[in-house]
Amino acid sequence: MVYAIVKAGGRQEKVSVGDVVVVDRLSGDAGDTVELPALLLVDGEKVTTDATKLAKVKVSAEIVRDEKGPKIIILKFKNKTGYRKRQGHRQQLTRLKVTEIK
């Protein structure tokens, strides 16, 4: 079992070949290939954490599509003053499919 911990969109994700991961929006169109920096690599029994060896590791992923996250509602209310404020937010996301770890 080969998997890697990569940094993607400000978070760390555990990925292996064929996994589909949702990360914060990345620039690029559907079908483009992106390289993700590896922080840790597990290849069977061997675990690699050395930064110089990890610099040679390439985790390639293909952009499947751009999408939006769930709607989040922000409500602000102050008692007895008539102050109410409602705001919504949907996070911009990118769906990636991991194609190669080498």
51-81 per-position pLDDT tens digit: 999 999 999 999 999 999 999 999 999 999 9
**Residue 89: its pLDDT value, please?**
98
Q: How far apart, in whole angstroms, are the C-alpha atoms of residue 26 and residue 63?
A: 9
* Strand pairing category for 20-24 and 38-43: unpaired
CB 33 within 8 A of CB 62: yes
**Residue 10: its pLDDT value, please?**
85
Residue 55 has a CB neighbour count (10 Å cut-off) of 10
Per-residue pLDDT, averaged over 8-32, amounts to: 95
**Residue 87: its pLDDT value, please?**
98
The residue among 69, 63, 68 whose CA lies nearest residue 96 is 63
* pLDDT over threshold 90, residue 9: no
